[in-house]
Amino acid sequence: MDCMRIRSILSHRKNWKYDVFVSFRGETGNNFTDHLFDALHKHGILAFRDDTKLEKGGLISEGLMQAIEGSHVLIVVFSMNYASSTWCLQELANIADCIQIPGQHVLPIFYDVSPSEVRKQSRKYEEAFVEHEERFKDDADMMEQLPRWRAALTQVANLSGWDVKDKSQSVEIENIVKAVTSKLSPKLSSCLSNDIVGMHSPLEKIEKLLVLDSEDDVRVVGIWGMGGIGKSTLATILYEKISHQFDVSCFVDDVSKTYSDYGTLGVQKELLCQAFMDEDFQICNLSLASNLMQTRFCHRKVLMILDNVETGTPLEKLAIKRERLGRGSRIVLVSRNEHILREYGVDGIYKVKLLNNENSLQLFCSKAFKCNQVTKDYERLTKSALTYAKGLPLAIKVLGSFLFGRDVSEWSSALVRLKEKPTKDIMDVLRISFDGLEDMEKEIFLDIACFFSNETEGCVKHILCIRGFHPDIGIRVLIDKSLLTRVPWRIVMHDLLRELGRSIVREKSPKEPRKWSRLWNQKDLRDVLRENQRAKNLEAIVLRRFLETKEELSVEALSRMDQLNLLILWQKEFLRTSAYSF
């Protein structure tokens, strides 16, 4: 699932026409209520505002009732003369009816009146009802409404809210917006169970690293893992879940691309515009941008998530420094490269893991069958597909979506084809990491992909030394960039990364093995030997079965391989290694 799809699922506007409905008396319209609407808009909250002017005694429209019923959060701003408006009281009665509706929230604000006056209908509120009783004494229908209105006032005033009388309006409005945002934030449990697999535990671990309940310092946490493993998905869900806890928050989807396309100024402008959405930042130079970054963020609790932080993204130059953020701020850096995270000085790193068998199956079924179980007759093919994907979420989703709605024979054909030619959508994502390597690291990656995945580390380093490479630092870099994994005594590469390496070797001449730099398949070597032509690019040959080819692998045949400097022949448990110069 791509990040835009996740954000659609998590959007608090999915089931509601409006985020917020505000009921208020006109006398607050030019001050407190206006500022409240502005603050809601600034935070991207869609608020319904009723500016209709009706004569006293008019009935509220069906459309207005629908707006109340269709709003996620219902705010009532009680003012001195609120109860004198029958229009407001009708709104309030309908709002009170929504208190027990699951998912809706009612929040009272006491502007220039005490909660007790509203709850007990004393003073101005009692005077208002005396006037209503006198006015409607000959209107039985309206007289029947008076007890309902009184009950609604008592019911709503008993709810937890804000008494803003004689307090700083800006501070109180900020607190109100935080509470509203918290109410709008989705409950992740339903989304996780239906659409996002295997995220509960990672989220908990990242939140633990962030230490969200502490505001004593600024913490920086890294999310690290190979391409397609779900780092961006995880960061997006994390942002949606915790952003309401901060004064300002911003999420840069692809900071490396933004920096590459628009430079330092482009990244800084995106951060500022996201954090302060109602302001049009006319920034034309780095000095001004850096100054704004410091002055606007230094006294605020900030959440900043930067996705795809890679080599060449100078975080220091971007003025993204913990000392420039207010206490309690959190920075989350998402990268394929662990070394970048360590270099920046993160307080902790969460390494995203491949999905386990249970979660892999659940995710695959949701894509391939649109349900939670394998359709009959597809069990064997499902197992084969999951063996191919090896727990990589991107591969599972791409493959499952491709196979959806196809019959058994089409599944069989597709899976055979995948083994010959991996899906481009998957390979393109994985290749990003390869393209960012230095030349020596690329050569080491290709050697391991073609020959040495899941071999002992000592053996691999010995052979790479023969090749003239520098394996200690090279292997460390590949591990940092999530292209290799070190398990006890072995170097392991994910099967899809191995296929990526082999496809890179083949890509310029897919049907002409003699033009490849490496040969790992006995049939391909036999074809090259039989052609009796020079193999000008061939650098290395590694075969697992030697006996069948030893007669053909003569000195004369080897002499036609101009660049060959490594020949490895495995025969059962016996390894023969030779370095050649021709």
With H, G, I as helix, E, B as strand and everything else as coil, classify residue 491: strand
Q: What are phi and psi for residue 179, nearest 5 degrees?
A: -65, -40
DSSP reduced 3-state for 121: coil
Residue 144 CB neighbour total at 10 angstroms: 10
Is 512 among the residues known to form the active site?
no
Q: Select which of 27, 55, 91, 531 is catalytic.
A: 91
Contact status, residue 446 vs residue 501, Cβ threshold 8 Å: yes
Give the number of other CB atoms < 10 A from CB of residue 175: 14
Beta strands in 307-351 (DSSP E): 330-335, 348-351
Report the distance separating Cα 497 and Cα 446, nearest Å.
10
- What lies within 8 Å, CB to CB, of 223 at 6+ separation is 206, 231, 234, 235, 332, 333, 334, 335, 349, 350, 352
Which residue reads 């005077």 in tokens? Answer: 127
Angstrom CA distances, 200 to 185, 188, 228, 334, 435, stand at: 16, 9, 18, 18, 32
d(CA 294, CA 291): 5
First to last CA, the chain: 51
Using DSSP bridges, classify how beta strands 485-487 and 455-456 pair: parallel, antiparallel or unpaired: unpaired
Contact status, residue 401 vs residue 2, Cβ threshold 8 Å? no
Q: How far is CA 199 from CA 363, 425, 521, in A?
A: 12, 23, 39
Q: Where are the beta strands (DSSP E) in 79-193?
A: 105-110, 162-163
Helix segments in 158-199, DSSP class H: 169-184, 188-194
**Residues 111 and 165: beta-carbon distance below 8 Å:** yes
Residues taking part in catalysis? 91
